[in-house]
Amino acid sequence: MPLPDADLSLRASLFDWLERFASHVRAVDFASARPMWDPEVIVFGTHQDLLQGRETAIANQWRNVWPRTADFRFDLEKTRILAEPGGGLVVVIAPWTSTGFSPDGKPFPRPGRATLVLRRSEDEWQVVHSHMSLHRGVPQESFADRPIKAA
């Protein structure tokens, strides 16, 4: 049985969501990204073991990554979106790119991949689970110190 790919309308809606979220990451704007994630979200990734709760994720994951990197973008051409017809949850499987910085400030490519599980909450999609990790061999640490636009 084939995987349940999202229809074109749902893909467009979620591509818009991914673009808006990535713009908040690039701007280091936690305040604007906050409502895009469920208060009880469960996350893990390269930088952090399993955590529950949006504020915990912001404190332990977002604050340790977003100000230290730049240029975050999802690769929409390679993104898959799985959705059962009429289902309440969707799964987004997306590669991403970003720029990391060595201790001496030299930039390096910092690609990775994400699995996001989202559900519709009133008029907005919200992440209920996130797994974001770097590709193998990419340095985990980045040393930029960009200002936080809005906490």
In a domain, 122, yes or no: yes
Q: What is the distance between the alpha carbons of residues 83 and 24, in angstroms, rounded to a whole number?
A: 25
pLDDT in tens, 41-55: 999 987 678 999 999
**Domain count of the fold of the chain:** 1
Domain CATH number, residue 59: 3.10.450.50
Residue 120 lies in a domain: yes
Q: Does residue 150 lie within any of the structural domains?
A: no
Structural domain boundaries enclosing 67: 8-134
pLDDT value, residue 52: 96
d(CA 17, CA 118): 10
Question: Is 87's pLDDT higher than 80?
Answer: no
Residue 126 domain flag: yes
- Whether residue 41 lies inside any domain: the answer is yes
Supply the pTM of this predicted model. 0.94
